[in-house]
Every structure is written in structure tokens, then in C-alpha cells.
Amino acid sequence: MERFDLIIIGGGIVGLWSAYFAAKRGLKTVLVEEHGIAAGASGGLLGALMPHTPDRWNAKKQFQFEALTQLPSLVEELESRTGQQVGYRRVGRIAPLLKEHHIKDVTERTAGAQEFWQSATGNFAMKHMEAGLAENWPAAAAMPFGVAVDNLSARLAPRKLIMALAGALHGSIDMRFGTRAAFLGEQQVTLGDGSVLHGDKILVSAGLASFDMLRPYAPTIAGRGVKGQAAVLGTNLDPNLPIIYSDGVYLIVHDDGTTAIGSTSEKEFSAGRETDHLLDEVIEKARALSPLIKDAPVIERWAGVRPQAQGRDPLVGALPEKEWLYVATGGFKISFGIAHLMAQSVLGCICADATAPEIPEPFQPIHRLSA
């Protein structure tokens, strides 16, 4: 039986960040992944790092804000360590206002940003403008009452970040791919080939599969998958253009000038990895937002299933009365923006480090048992 300080199940964005911080702490760590790196929802295309609106402030919004303001320094550290660029850029966001009463909403959120979007690394703002900063981004017809603009939103290239994390982990931890965690026992994981790993601590960060793995130990903790579809258009646009977000549709220009388009949010679906007419509808809506992409060819289509914990908040922390078992999953649409802070928080819990970021109470499994 092989022995480790920490066994991490899941090679998506949360599992990789968890392994990264575990290695920095000097823990003897093994990462177990049934398929390959980011084989699930973490292998997507968008890379939007957008904050929740700065009104009706709560623990989840504060956690996300802290994560978004911390991320640039971690990206710099990761890129310096690996020599790989992850396509991070704080480009801001433009949200077209479709109804007149939305102007009042933005006014309230402007005040909220002045109160809640302030940190040691920067003071961020939201404001109402009559039009975007660049011509046809978005089209005039798409913003009948102007736009809400913020300078906190950013984007990165999801697959580049995944590969940089994998590169940073090379030689630092044990990585087992193509084998599943068939059974969780008391400080043990039995793999699909029958071999057994012993771990002082076990962290489940396997996306949607996490909920089934945890069911024997916490039957009332639940979650579901929500399918998302996205595409990449072959454009040659300025990578400094802000994210456009309108009525659930994203337009995100990446460093190579291509434009990522998304996304659907499907609670009912039959084929989680297949694209269909719903993506076609999103692409058409996106084309209507800006003539700059009207005739751009589609060069990639993607679909995946994102994990959503019951109650919508991420699920992070120790399982009650199971001092060896931990979870970090359920980031849903904001996973790439908060995964690193989820990882730091749960590692702090695992290592009993009082200086680590605190896990918000609503995220903790003990507060979800009766949900």
C-alpha cells in the first residue's frame, strides 16, 4: 500500500490548484484522475473572470472578489515558474442595458462598487455610459439604454492555465491518470485496477462526480450537472477589447485575436459533451451584438457539464465527523476565478493553518447537511 499525506481526486482546475498549493506546503501528494487533465468542465473555452454585481453583498461575493484581486499575482508567479503564458488580461466588462430601469440598477451598483470593490491591490468601479469604448463593440442597436462598465472583470485562456499548472506540478507530486477512484474508505482510496492508496487526508475535487463519491459519508449533500456550450470564432480583434456580456451571452477576445462565444445553461440534457442547436442560437445572438464578428467562421465547438452544488454556493471544507475527508467542488460558472482560493482555503483546513484564507460558512459541508 502506497502512503501519502494527501490524495486529491480530480484533475480539473480545483484539483490542480489544490495540488499546486499542497506541493508548496511540502505535502507528499498524489492526484488521481480517471481520464486526463481537465477532461470535464475545466477544458472549456471562455475563461471569463467576472465578478458578481456589487449589490446585496454576501460571503460568496466577498470570496469571489478576494479571489479575483489575488489572481494576477498568482498568474505572474505561475508564468515565471513555468515560462508559459496563460492569457490573463484585466480587460473589463461591458453589459448592454436593455431596459430603462436598468440605469437605476447600475446607479445602485456604482455605489456598491465604491464600498465593496476596494482592496490593497486596487480600487475598482462600475459606471453607466451611453456607449462602449470601441466602435461597434457592442453595436449601437444592442445597447438602447447605454452600458454598464466595470474595470474589475478579466479573462484568461482556460487550457493554457491548465497546462501551466500541470507543468508546475511536474516532478512535485505523483500524478495518476487513466485510473478511477473506485472506492473511498477510511483514509484509503481503491483504484480501478484494485491497487490501494493510503492518505492521511483525502480531498475530493472531481467536479460533478464528487457528489456521488461523497454520498456514503454525507447522503444529504447533493449537487447536479448543468450543461454549457461554447464556441470560438476565427477573428482577428484587439485583445484589449472588454468582455461583452448581454442576457447570458459572452463575447471574449483572447490574446490570439480569436473570440470565444458562450454559453448555454442547460439543466435538462441527454448528451453532456455534444453541441447542438442551442449553441447555434447562442452564436447567432452573439453575432447580433457586434458586426465585428458577424461573418467570422466557427473554428471550434465545445460542450461540458459544470458542477453545481445544491444551494448554488461552492462546497468546500471537511466532511463532518470525517477528519480525513475533504471536498472542494461546485464552483459552477465562476470556477476559474475562485478555484485557487478554494484550494488555499481547503488546504488551510487540511493543514490546520489558522493563517490560511477562511472558508465562508455557507460553503462548508456541515452547513449543507440539511439542505
Let me know if residue 29 belongs to a domain.
yes
C-alpha cell at 158: 482556460
Let me know if residue 59 belongs to a domain.
no
Q: What is the pLDDT of residue 220?
A: 87
In this structure, what are the phi and psi dihedrals at residue 194, rounded to the nearest 5 degrees? 95, -10
Q: What is the pLDDT of residue 134?
A: 94
**Cα–Cα nearest to 264, from 285, 244, 289:** 285
Domain range for 200 = 2-43+160-223+311-367
Let me know if residue 121 belongs to a domain.
no
Let me know if residue 286 belongs to a domain.
no
Let me know if residue 205 belongs to a domain.
yes
Let me know if residue 32 belongs to a domain.
yes
Q: What is the pLDDT of residue 14?
A: 98
Q: What is the pLDDT of residue 312?
A: 87
CA 25 to chain centre: 23
> Taking a C-beta distance cutoff of 8 angstroms, is the pair 70, 62 a contact?
no
> Taking a C-beta distance cutoff of 8 angstroms, is the pair 191, 182 a contact?
yes
Question: Strands (DSSP E) along 234-357, which ranges?
Answer: 243-246, 249-253, 259-262, 298-309, 315-319, 322-329
How are beta strands 174-177 and 29-33 bridged, if at all? Answer: parallel
Let me know if residue 208 belongs to a domain.
yes
- In this prediction, the residues of the chain whose per-residue pLDDT falls under 70 are 370-371
Domains contained in the chain, number? 1
CATH label of the domain that carries residue 218: 3.50.50.60
Model's pTM, two decimal places? 0.96
Q: What is the pLDDT of residue 370?
A: 57
Let me know if residue 191 belongs to a domain.
yes
Q: What is the pLDDT of residue 121?
A: 87
